[in-house]
Structure formats: structure tokens, C-alpha cells
Structure 1
Amino acid sequence: MAETQGSRPPAGTPPPQSPAYAQDLSRSLGLRENMFITLSAVTPASSVFIIMPSVISGLGGAAALAFALAAVAGMLMAFCYAELSSAFPITGGEYAFAARTLGRATGFALFALALLAGVLTVAVIALGTGDYLGVVWDSLGGKETGLAVIAVASLVSVLGIRTNAWVTGVFLAVELAAIAVLVWLGLVDVEQPISTLWTPHALGEDGVLVGASAGLVSSFAASALFAYNGYGTSVYYAEETRQVSSIGRIVMWSLGITVVAECLPLVAVLLGTPSTSALMAAPSPMNYFLLERGGDTVNTVVSLGIAIAIVNAVIAIMLQIGRLVYSSARDRAWPDVVGRPLAAVHPRLRTPIAATLSMGAAAIVVAWLVPLDKLILATGANLVLLYIFVAVAALYGRISGATAHATYRMPAWPWVPVAAIGVMTYVLYESIDADWRPAGIAVAMVAAGYLYYYAYLYPRREHRWTMPDAVRDTTE
């Protein structure tokens, strides 16, 4: 259907002159429920079993030092997210920050980057489910298991937001129980000296440990940074959270809990392993540790817990990207024939069903057609570039006064966002130095976002992508 002047905006979208969005989503989450979903998107157990092993293999005991450095960098970014989230508690997340501080064009470019990252992340995480369910049942070890996980998670995520909060909360408890097993097995019988935690090693010839440089620790800290990602997703549920002025606290608490939930098992494994060299040389360091300290049964039970953690993460990220697409349609980013159904909210469930299911379908197609190694390559630099935009928005937002009304104010501004920009630029440089293709894909997506904005949205800027104020929270 061709768009005509005076055409009706998508359902739930206020006219351009409206000062604020309408409250179409259900504001039924407390701060605790928001945190359940946020921590599920972080998925600490998946980070422990998927990201952490590569750092252990590269650094040995000094993996703890790399994760500590990454936690400092994560804290810088969390401060930026907390201030921006409290200034703009809008379902669109990062693009809502950027559009209101750095300009509408940059906002859409960041939307494109976040959309790509969301779909690819769902595909990558879901395809890992079979690796852990295959330990329990051999027949569940294939790609089809990952596709089924995306389909089921998509259906679950269209249920009411409060239902999803409790589903993810229960799964999160199982996930943390799996982590607790690692902690107990490691700390009940410590075998390595405490100095292991700050002494970098690499595997030399014949599996002998040799010293490693501080530069190697820095490079692996960049990898560790990805393990903490997700604490900023709480803003995607801001329009469904009561007392939303506290959203900044949710961001900071989510990061703090994540750091503890990931660093405790790391320290336990590093100190409790029978052999650091054997741990580093193992194809799967965590499975080696579980088998050595707990046996086959414990390894099987924990593997099942990790599979549940992955399913939980897929549900949480589907909730996030469904709301991302819904928000873009509400902002009239698309022709009406596409935008109207994507901006629709189910009258009883109060969730964006079409937007969520469309993203589930996209993730299934991507996971089915694109090899896993290509998916991992494509996601490599998305997060770093996204972080740079967020840090710049936090810096410029105060300079321009756009964030003057924020209910959370980061300490040590402007040094916090400046330091965050510096750290993330270094990480991006390291990424490009290792392989330019991930950064090239991320930059290409940003460029595509700018191109779409100037080709379609800018000529219609009076009625599209107008960026109204946040929904007013009447619960405060």
C-alpha cells in the first residue's frame, strides 16, 4: 500500500506533535523482575562455559586478572548506560540515546547496528545449545536443536512481560546453581597458590608453562569484556517497569552481580584445578575441571544446566530485539504497510507479537543458512562499536544539555565516558589488527543505517523518526 500524505500512523504511535509516547506496553515489572530479564540476557553461566575457557587457555591463572581489568572497563560503560537510561527510559535502547543526543541519523545508524547484533547473537547462542544437550542425549546435538530453541523462545517471549520475568527468573536460578557447583568444587580443595591469579602463563613446548607478557593480558581482557555484556539491556523494559527513575540502579546492580557470578567460579577453577597446564591444554577447560573434580554425573548435570542457561538467554534477547523493532516501527521508521503490524501491541498480553515473531523468524533463517564460524565473525566488532557510540552519547549529552534531566548522574564526568571511549577504541584497534572483517561488517551496517535514514526518513522527517518524549511513569 503506497504511503499518502495524512496516512494514519501505526497503532500505538502518537502524532508527531505529541509530547510523549502512549503507554501501550504493560507497566507491570518491579525492579527485581527487570533485573531477572537483564541478568538472563547477560547469561553468566554461558559466559563461564563459552567465553571464559578461551581466556584460561591463553593466560592460565592470570585469566582472573584479565577479567578484573574487563570489569573496570565494564564499570565505565555501565555508568554511561545508567545515566542515559535514566534520561531516556525508552524501549528503543541505544538508538533512543543516540537519536536524542547525537542526532536522528546517528540514531538510525545505531538501530541498524543493534538489530544486526541482536539477530546474530540469538543465532550464535542458540546453536550452542546442542553442544551441551548432546552430553545428555546424543540425538539433541545437531543444528536442529538450536533452531527449535529459537522457535520455542520466540513463542515464550510473546507472553506477558511479567510471565517472562518469572520464567527467566526460574531459569536464572538453575543457571546460578550450575555456577555454584563450580565454585564449591574449586574452593573445597584448593590446590594452586594464590599467586596463580596474577601470574600470566602460556603453554610452551610439550605443555610446559612459560611466562607471558602484560600485553597478552590486555588483549585477553578485550575478550573478557564480552562476557559481561548485557547489563545495559534493562532500558529495553523501561516502559514496562514501575518506578522507572531507578533504572540507573538496575544497570549498576546488574553489572555488579554479573562480575561476582562470573569471577567467583573463575577463581575457584583456577585455584582448585589439579593442574594448570592440563587445564590450559584441555579442549574444554571447564569440562576437564568438572570431570577431574566431580566425575561424569556432575559434568552431565552441569551441562544440562548450561543448556537451560542458553535457552534462558535466547528468551531474554528475543524480548529485547522484539521491543527494539517495535520501537522503531512506533517511531515510523518503515513504510506503513510494514510499520503498522510491527508497531501493534496485543490488547490482552500487551506485548509486540508481530515484531517479536518476525525477529524469531529472521534468527531461524540466519541460523539455518549461515555457518556458525561466519556468524561469530560477523558479530565480532558490533559490541565494541555500539559501546563507542553509547560513550560518546553520554559525553555529548551533558555538553549539549540533552541529559540534564537524568535521574542518575555518573560520577567523575567527563573522565568516565572519555576513558570508556579510549578503552573501546583500543579494543577496536586490537580487533582490526587481528582481523579487519568483523569491524568492516559493523561499519558497513552503520553506513547502511545512515543511507536508509537520508534516503527514506530525512525527506519525511516531519512525520517520521520524530523522537517524542518517554512514556510518563504514573507509578511514581
Structure 2
Amino acid sequence: MTRETACSRLITERRQEDWRLDMEQQILSEGSTPGIIAVPPEIVAGNALKERLSTGHVVGLAMADVSPTMAVFLLSGAVFVSAGTAAAGVNLLMMVIVVLIALCLGELASMYPSAGGMYTLVRETLPAPFSWVTKFNYLLQGVIIPASIGLGIAQFLRDLYPTFPVPDTVIACLSIGLAAFIAMTKVEIGAWLTVLMVFVELTVLGIVTVAGFTHVHQSLGDLVVHPVMLNQTGNGIFAVGMVAVFASLAPAFNIINGYDAALGFAEELHGGRKNIGKAVVWAAVIASITIIIPLLAAMVAAPDLVGFLKAPSPVLYSVETAMGPWAKYVVDFGVIVALFNAGLSLMMYFGRGVYATGRDGAWPDAINKRIGTLNKHSVPGWATLTLAVPACVLSFFSYLDWLLNFSGTMIAAVYFCIGLGAFWARVSQKDVERPFRMPLWPLPPLIVVAFTGFALYSQELQYLGGELVLILVGLVCWQLSKRW
């Protein structure tokens, strides 16, 4: 028997025992965890994910999902609009919060390593309604973000080749389709491709960082302590108020985000329970550093703050000023690579999340039997398609920008539940083994809950309304799941 076969059999046997215990507990508690009632398909057929990835592979996949280049050049724009140069202080604060969130994720993931990622962690630690709300906030990102990434690739490709004869929506769909195709092949292929493209990204960001810090025009201290933003006419600046800073907290979650993708590969990681906690913390720390430093470099290199804040891409404005017009081609190429890399990693990550919901029997049986199975490469093919197809359709609609901004609210809501779960697990599940234990408990989960709760409270009504709709949908499905 090969080591791979032995590992697969051990995983299957473990899940068989876990499923039996879950069923006994569910009967005793009269259905306290509705929806998790079907026998997982891989228990019946031996169709389990296989341990084929190293910690380096998983960190690389998570970094591809983070996509530092995309974060610096694209996602940071929303924070510059809402908070001006306060983006410097907000992102430094976010770096601390990200590490605390990663500590919570690391401990929970070492307790419950699963392809379901954050959805599984909430399901295992909080009552069922929280699980369903998290599930929709979590999985919907797997459709919205790839659609926006596809359109982003089209825009930067057109900037690089203005006469490119293919419509943007077609480019977006082709990009999504190619990413989905690779995601449905052997996981090692996607892992090596993403690691290679991460090195390309870091090279581009290194050039940006050197250019920024060698052409300093602004004081970093003033940017952090005395931030400014554009006035209503766009011709001047004024001091940023706390209201604007608070409103920028949820959009800032979009910038340093994606490190949680390490969780989705927990069942394919060698020594998963031991190493998954380390992988997600390393991914969070590396992501924070590779995003914050180039972002600060671009801000101090801005020759004029009004021009910087008015630019469609403030970071690109600084880079072109410091490096000259040829920088446009370097940045365009780097961003295209980064966007595709992020799309590929997202498909691989969220595809496993969808697969886990089917494997856990969360939906009607006909759906579970389809999305809860693996293809000949031992990866969730049908689950990946359930993300790729609606992402292609969504790229044709004009409200995608609103959904992308709303994704910051969804991310904050998921992390709020993670903070609650990390705190409650220590209180109520003391007998569960924790190969990775977060330091400074209970400060990390308490700070995460307080910060994300305040970020949600500070959001615009339109985004809070969207979150309320998702909560209602989740609760309705939770009730319907009792029939399933």
C-alpha cells in the first residue's frame, strides 16, 4: 500500500467515525445541527481529498488569493476614496487585526481541518443559524470576486493593447473559464503555477517599493497622524474626520484578505492538523508585509496629494511619476498576472468550500450528490463549475461594482463569526485537541469581534441592507434544511 493510499484510507476512516459521532450527537440533541444528515459521498465511495501539498504550496496558494499586486493597485482605491491618506493608518491598523484573525483561524483550523474553510469552522463551534449565515457570506464571494477579476484582466489588457479586438466581457469569461479549467486538474499543477506567478508579483511590487522610497515627496508621519482627503469639488484637500475613517474599515478588509485560503487545502496538506495553523498565520503575516510596504512607498512618493487622490489608480499615479511612462507596461503586465493568479486560487479555494457543503449534506440530496464528489484528478470539478458559470454571467451586469464593494461587508461578517467561534470553542470545547494554540487568549478573539462588529456598524445603509438580506436568506435555508 502506498503512503498516499494509506493517508486517504486513514482520512476516510476518520470521517466515518466523525460522521457516526455527529449522528449520535444529533439524535441526542434533537437535531441541533440541521442539514448535516446525509452520509458524505466520499465515505460511501472512498472519494476523499488526498494529502499532496507541502506547507510552502499552501502558503503560495493563499498568497495567490491575497494577490498583493491587485490589492495595492486596485483594491486600495476604495479606501483612498472614503478616507484619503488615512488609508496609511487604516491599513497599518488592519495589519494588526489581520494577524489576530489569523491566530483565531489557525487554532480553529488545527481543531477542525476541512476543505470547507471558514464555513466549517463556524459550523463546528457556533449554533446552526450562524453556520448558514456564514455559508452565504463566504461562498457568494467565490462568484463575485472572480467576476470582477475577469473584468479587471480585460481592462488592464486593453490598457496594454488598446486595439485588442475582443470585448471585455468575452475576455472576462475566457479568463474565468481558463482559471476554472486549471482548478479542475491536479492540485499540484495549480499550486506550482500560483507559486510561480506570486514570484512575478513580488518582483513587480519590489520595483514599485524601490521607486517609491527613492522619490520621497511626502512625510510618512504626516500621512498617518494628519491625514487629508479631497473636498467635494475635487480641487482641494481637508483634514479627515473620524466618520470617514470608520467608514473605511470594512472596505479595508478587501485589501489584506485571502490568507484564509490556506484553510481550504487543509485536507490536502501533509500533516494538516499540525501545519495548517502555521500556514494561515504565515500567509497573513507575509500578505500584510507585501501589501503595506509598497502601499506606503507609493503614498510618500506622491508629488501632489490632490493629483494623487484624484487619480483613478493613486498608486499607479505615483509609480508613473517616479519611474516614467515605461512603468505603465511593467504595472499592466504585473497586474494581469496577479489578477489571473488570484482568480485561479479563488476557484481552487472556493470550489473546495462548495464541495464541503455538498459532502456535509447541506443541500437537497440531488445537489449534494453532484457538488460533493471529486473528479478523476481528485479535485471538486462540479463544485468549481458552480462558481465559474455564475461568475461568467455576473460579469455582464453593471451592478458588479456595488457587489465588489459589498464584499468587504461580507468579509467583515464572516470574521465576526470567526472571532465568536474562536472564543466559544475555548469555553465550550476544552476536550478537543489543539495542535496550534493561539497566544494571548482571550485577547485575539475579543479584539476581532469588537473590531469587526464596529466595522459592520459603521457601514453605509445600502451595504447593511445587503447584509440583512443575506442573513434572512441564510435563516430561511436553515429552516428549509430541516426538511432536507
Shorter-chain TM range is: 0.7 to 0.9
Instruction: State which drifts further: 334-343 or 198-207.
Output: 198-207
Instruction: State which drifts further: 275-284 or 197-206.
Output: 197-206
Q: Does the alignment pair 1:279 with 2:308?
A: yes
The structural deviation recorded for 1:18 is: 7.0
Report the Cα distance in structure 2 between the residues aligned to 1:155 and 1:191, rounded to whole angstroms. 46
Contact 1:196-1:271 within 8 A present in 2 as well: no
Contact 1:132-1:306 within 8 A present in 2 as well: yes
Question: What CA deviation, in whole Å up to 9, does each residue of 1:236-273 have, x standing for no partner?
Answer: 10000002112111111111111111111112112222
Residues 402, 235 of structure 1: alpha-carbon distance in 2 compared, 3 angstrom cutoff: farther
Residues 97, 209 of structure 1: alpha-carbon distance in 2 compared, 3 angstrom cutoff: same
Aligned match for 2:337, one of 308, 325, 331: 308
Contact 1:49-1:286 within 8 A present in 2 as well: yes
The structural deviation recorded for 1:93 is: 1.1
Report the Cα distance in structure 2 between the residues aligned to 1:282 and 1:104, rounded to whole angstroms. 45
The structural deviation recorded for 1:143 is: 2.3
Q: Does the alignment pair 1:76 with 2:100?
A: yes
- Measured on the aligned residues, the alpha-carbon RMSD in Å equals 2.5
1:424 alignment counterpart = 452
Could you tell me which amino acid in structure 2 is paired with residue 453 of structure 1? W
Q: Does the alignment pair 1:88 with 2:107?
A: no
1:455 alignment counterpart = 480
Question: What CA deviation, in whole Å up to 9, does each residue of 1:268-291 have, x standing for no partner?
Answer: 112222223321222321232232
Aligned match for 1:115, one of 139, 148, 152: 139
2:229 alignment counterpart = 202
TM alignment of 1:57-76, pairs within 5 A = 57=81, 59-76=83-100
The structural deviation recorded for 1:410 is: 1.5
Secondary structure, counterpart of 1:202 in structure 2? strand
Secondary structure, counterpart of 2:238 in structure 1? strand
Residues 334, 301 of structure 1: alpha-carbon distance in 2 compared, 3 angstrom cutoff: same
Report the Cα distance in structure 1 between the residues aligned to 2:257 and 2:219, rounded to whole angstroms. 30
Report the Cα distance in structure 1 between the residues aligned to 2:130 and 2:115, rounded to whole angstroms. 17
1:168 alignment counterpart = 194
Could you tell me which amino acid in structure 2 is paired with residue 441 of structure 1? G
Residues 135, 336 of structure 1: alpha-carbon distance in 2 compared, 3 angstrom cutoff: same
Contact 1:93-1:235 within 8 A present in 2 as well: yes
Report the Cα distance in structure 1 between the residues aligned to 2:52 and 2:291, rounded to whole angstroms. 30
TM alignment of 1:27-426, pairs within 5 A = 27-57=51-81, 59-138=83-162, 139=164, 142-198=168-224, 199-204=226-231, 207-244=235-272, 245-347=274-376, 349-369=377-397, 371-376=399-404, 378-401=406-429, 404-426=432-454
Question: What CA deviation, in whole Å up to 9, does each residue of 1:183-227 have, x standing for no partner?
Answer: 111122323334333221123467344333345334334432321
2:466 alignment counterpart = 441
Instruction: State which drifts further: 365-374 or 380-389.
Output: 365-374
Residues 370, 214 of structure 1: alpha-carbon distance in 2 compared, 3 angstrom cutoff: closer
Question: What CA deviation, in whole Å up to 9, does each residue of 1:281-326 have, x standing for no partner?
Answer: 2232123223222222221221121011111111111111111111
Contact 1:397-1:403 within 8 A present in 2 as well: no
Secondary structure, counterpart of 1:163 in structure 2? helix
Instruction: State which drifts further: 269-278 or 24-33.
Output: 269-278
The structural deviation recorded for 1:409 is: 1.5
Report the Cα distance in structure 2 between the residues aligned to 1:249 and 1:51, rounded to whole angstroms. 26
Report the Cα distance in structure 2 between the residues aligned to 1:252 and 1:325, rounded to whole angstroms. 23
Contact 1:134-1:141 within 8 A present in 2 as well: no
Report the Cα distance in structure 1 between the residues aligned to 2:358 and 2:398, rounded to whole angstroms. 27
The structural deviation recorded for 1:14 is: 4.7
Secondary structure, counterpart of 1:226 in structure 2? coil
Report the Cα distance in structure 2 between the residues aligned to 1:451 and 1:211, rounded to whole angstroms. 45
1:471 alignment counterpart = none
The structural deviation recorded for 1:427 is: 0.6
Secondary structure, counterpart of 2:185 in structure 1? coil
Report the Cα distance in structure 2 between the residues aligned to 1:219 and 1:110, rounded to whole angstroms. 22
Question: What CA deviation, in whole Å up to 9, does each residue of 1:79-126 have, x standing for no partner?
Answer: 211111111111111221122111344323322221212211221222
Could you tell me which amino acid in structure 1 is paired with residue 227 of structure 2? P
Could you tell me which amino acid in structure 1 is paired with residue 463 of structure 2? P
Instruction: State which drifts further: 26-35 or 328-337.
Output: 328-337
Could you tell me which amino acid in structure 2 is paired with residue 257 of structure 1? I
The structural deviation recorded for 1:232 is: 1.5
Residues 335, 178 of structure 1: alpha-carbon distance in 2 compared, 3 angstrom cutoff: same
Residues 186, 405 of structure 1: alpha-carbon distance in 2 compared, 3 angstrom cutoff: same
Question: What CA deviation, in whole Å up to 9, does each residue of 1:161-192 have, x standing for no partner?
Answer: 11111111111111112211211111223233
Secondary structure, counterpart of 1:368 in structure 2? coil
Report the Cα distance in structure 1 between the residues aligned to 2:71 and 2:121, rounded to whole angstroms. 27
Could you tell me which amino acid in structure 2 is paired with residue 452 of structure 1? C
The structural deviation recorded for 1:403 is: 7.2
The structural deviation recorded for 1:377 is: 5.2
Contact 1:379-1:438 within 8 A present in 2 as well: no
2:20 alignment counterpart = 17
The structural deviation recorded for 1:358 is: 2.4
Q: Structure 2 unaligned segments of length 5 or more: list them.
A: 1-11, 23-39
Report the Cα distance in structure 2 between the residues aligned to 1:236 and 1:57, rounded to whole angstroms. 33
Contact 1:124-1:375 within 8 A present in 2 as well: no
1:5 alignment counterpart = none
The alignment covers a number of residue pairs equal to 445
Could you tell me which amino acid in structure 2 is paired with residue 191 of structure 1? H
